[in-house]
Amino acid sequence: MQVSRRGMLTGAAAVGAAAVGAAGVVGLEGRSQAATVPAAKREPVELTWFGTHAWQLKCGKSVVLTDPWLTRFKTGTFTPEGADPKTKLVIKPEVIDKHLSTADAILVHHGHYDHMADVPYVAKKTQATVLCTETHANLLRAMRTPNELLSPVRGGEYLPFDGFSIEVFPSLHSCSGKRHTYAYPGYRYDVPQRPRVIEDLVEGGTLAFVITIGGLRILSLSTANFDPNALRDLQVDVIFAAPGGEPGITDRLLQTIKPVRKVIATHWDDFDKPLDDPGIPWTDLTPLRQSVERTGAEFVVLDHLQQVTL
Ligand SMILES: [Zn+2]
């Protein structure tokens, strides 16, 4: 389909369900508002979105990556049948190499394939420090990630790096349905057999991170859920916030932390679809947008491969 990126998103909105339509409109508004002038007294921080929760944060020579999963492959996640847990894990170096070159730190928020499957390749390529739980580290060791790059954390750490700092917080995966569950739960206390299929990459604990870079504090959440005890009265400028989860969850998040200026939508795209195409929302972004706008914060939606400088 040979239409412009913007047209594609509008088209999806026009022909899709009401849910998709609302998200498409938000996306367009968000983009026009996203190009803010960098604050005079801060170093500019460039954010690039690679779909799912894959973000690159760049300030001067410092580069931080969150859940860098760029390969993407079909699993059936957004079909009525759901994902096939036996879908083979693959890594596409040619896709990763096109977009990522250097990194100082890789923040693993949880162990699911759409967050961690590319980390072994990206870590080896960049030699970045990988912050993750012990379960994630065991899975990454099983996927031949060099052990010296792995830095297991639990939450509570304050870690200064050259040019930025990372604070780690315990967090929770979002859940849904009658039983409030999520896919592929579990922990790995030893190095398991090499993960081959998507269900082998268990959640393994969920972490949240605050990245302080260029004078900006960014709270990075990989799902809609969070630990209110860990984040109470936290002060940040920007949040990466995901749709989904239990009703009202983003309202609770924004009541738990101190007021923020900007909330950037994350993990809103159907990740069975390629990164080169515009993002197709997997859910209605309206509840997330309304929760944010009720607080007076700005709601921002970037498209695949788009950048914003803050
Ligand atoms: Zn997940």
pLDDT at 187: 97
Query: How many whole angstroms from 193 Cα to the centroid of ligand 1?
Result: 21
pLDDT score of 3 more than 90:
no
Q: Which residues contact 207 (CB under 8 A, 6 or more apart)?
A: 107, 108, 109, 110, 131, 132, 133, 153, 155, 168, 169, 170, 171
Single pTM value for the model? 0.87
Please, what is the Cα angle at 306 between 151 and 213, to 5 degrees?
A: 40
- Write out the H or E segment, with its range, that includes residue 23: helix 18-34
Query: How many whole angstroms from 83 Cα to the centroid of ligand 1?
Result: 12
Q: How does pLDDT run across 138-172, given as a tens digit for each residue?
A: 999 999 999 999 999 999 999 999 999 999 999 99
Q: How many CA atoms lie within 13 A of 168 on its CB side?
A: 25
Ordered structural domains, the chain, with CATH: 23-35+43-309 (3.60.15.10)
Query: How many whole angstroms from 36 Cα to the centroid of ligand 1?
Result: 31
Query: How many whole angstroms from 112 Cα to the centroid of ligand 1?
Result: 5
Query: How many whole angstroms from 223 Cα to the centroid of ligand 1?
Result: 7
Q: Stretch 189-201: mean pLDDT, rounded?
A: 98
Q: Which residues contact 37 (CB under 8 A, 6 or more apart)?
A: none
What is the average pLDDT score of the chain? 89
Query: How many whole angstroms from 1 Cα to the centroid of ligand 1?
Result: 30
